[in-house]
Amino acid sequence: MKRNADTKPGAGASVFARIFAYTMLLLALMSLAAVAVFARQSVSFYRAENRRQLALVFEPVIRQFEGKSPEEVAEIARGFYAKNQSLRFVVKDGGGEVLFSSPGAGEDGNYRLTMQFSRGPAAGDTAIGAAKGSYILLGSPPGGSPVDYGDLALKSFLALAIMIAIGVLGAVLFTRKVTGPLEEELARERVAEENQRLFFSAASHELKTPIAATEALIEGMIANIGDYRDHPKYLRECLKNLEAQNRLVSEILELARLSDGAAGPLPVALDLAELCAALAAEYRPLAEQGGVEIRADLPGFRVRADRGLLRRALSNVIANAVQNTPENGTARIGAERRGGKIRLSVLNSGARIGGESPDRLFEPFYRPDPARGRNRSGLGLAIVKKSLDRMGIPFGLENSSRGVLFWMDLDPA
């Protein structure tokens, strides 16, 4: 029986797109930061490891530099190279002057070791004794190579692309998970706003007509125009109109309270036969005026529901059945077990729902026959729907071979 109102096109997609875009932006920034940090750490580690290996490879010759003059250091370096011709290295003094350079060695891409020693005087020095100095060794360990920044950038880009590809999939799944409930809530809000707008529009129209009629009657009586001089007669008409407006306002307020949902239902055990018999007795005088018979055939079922909500719903269903049953027809109230539920039904024999959908009958102020329904508010079945929805009770209204059948499935007590 519940209807799904249309939502604005593209609204859900817009929410999904925004959250997905924000998620991807955050993911891209995190991925870039991770790649930059890891690339820098990788370069630092690579360089430190090569320096460590360089120190191990050149340790024998480095120890010989202690206390030696630059000429002696150059000679030691030449002797070391003669035994290790696969190595490429350069030895400089503290001032940057090259003391020895192996064939093919260059400064680009080499790893620098700066060593502090006490060294002997160079040829031509007038200083006596050792002085503090330093030597610089530039080289690469066996198998070591300078950092290929182009290759590193390519690998970093590939790592970033893989991270983003995995992130896109994760972002899609995450966004769908997050936006699903949000889109449903937004759709419900839009439906509620639209229903509220339509309700107020219809309520305003329903109240406007009797107010205008009452105003016309009062103006005629004040002016003493024609038949309006009979004030008692038209005052009674005004009173009828005011009573009708009062009933309508009361039903509007009742529907608003049901829609508010501030307090939940309070289910209790109820005697179904007793409740239906009391309601049938209330509507029997109205039924007899229209030549309709009310019959209640109810075994001793006990059900669990909110007393006030169930009574309100059932009262409106019986009233609707009495008003829409043809003269000499019967409104039957019955109950039976069906599965694990107790199905309560109200049948108005000889009646039939026309071409419109039965769901429309539950819309506020809807009347399938405006001529017959001019004295009705059109809120009875709307109140039924709100009451049963509040209790979570399934219900339906349909044509049957014997007439129009309303049913609801109640939990046994």
Q: Domains plus CATH for the chain?
A: 58-139 (no CATH), 266-413 (3.30.565.10)
Q: Measuring CA to CA, which residue among 364, 356, 344, 348 is closest to residue 302?
A: 344
Q: How many distinct helices (H) and strands (E) make up the chain?
A: 8, 11
Separation CA 314–CA 300 (nearest Å): 17
Q: Are 232 and 205 in contact (CB under 8 A)?
A: no
- For residue 395, what pLDDT is reported? 93
Query: 106-126 burial, b for 16+ CB within 10 Å, e for fewer?
Result: eeeebbebebebebbeeeeee
CB distance 316 to 381 below 8 Å: yes
Residue 5 has a pLDDT of 39
Q: Whole-angstrom Cα distance, residue 357 to residue 396?
A: 12
CA dihedral 172, 178, 184, 186 (to 10 degrees): -110
3-state secondary structure of 160: helix
Q: Write out the chain's pLDDT in tens, 413 residues.
A: 444 334 444 455 577 777 777 777 777 777 777 777 777 777 777 778 777 887 888 888 888 888 888 888 899 999 988 988 888 888 888 888 889 998 877 665 566 766 666 666 655 444 444 456 788 888 876 665 555 656 667 777 787 778 778 877 777 777 777 777 777 777 777 776 776 666 666 666 566 767 888 888 888 888 888 888 888 888 888 887 787 777 777 767 766 777 666 567 888 999 999 999 888 888 888 888 888 999 888 888 899 999 888 988 898 899 888 888 888 889 999 999 988 899 999 998 888 877 666 777 877 777 665 544 444 556 778 888 888 988 899 999 988 888 899 999 999 98
Residue 387 CB partners (closer than 8 Å, separation 6+): 258, 309, 310, 312, 313
What is the rounded distance in angstroms from the CA atom of residue 265 to the CA atom of residue 293?
33
Residue found by looking up tokens 């370096």 in the block? 77
Q: What is the rounded distance in angstroms from the CA atom of residue 386 to the CA atom of residue 342?
A: 20
Run of H or E residues at 387 = helix 380-391
Q: Cβ(148)–Cβ(94) under 8 Å?
A: no
CB distance 346 to 287 below 8 Å: no
Q: From 380, 389, 262, select the one nearest 2 (Cα to Cα).
A: 389
Q: Which strands sit side by side in the sheet containing 98-101, from one edge to the other? A: 98-101, 89-93, 131-139, 111-119
Q: Measure Cα distances from 157 to 39, 152, 170, 172, 201 in Å.
A: 10, 9, 20, 22, 61
- 3-state secondary structure at position 330: strand
27-36 CB contacts, 8 Å cutoff, 24+ apart: 27/164, 27/167, 27/170, 27/171, 28/164, 28/167, 31/160, 31/163, 31/164, 31/167, 32/160, 34/163, 35/156, 35/159, 35/160, 35/163
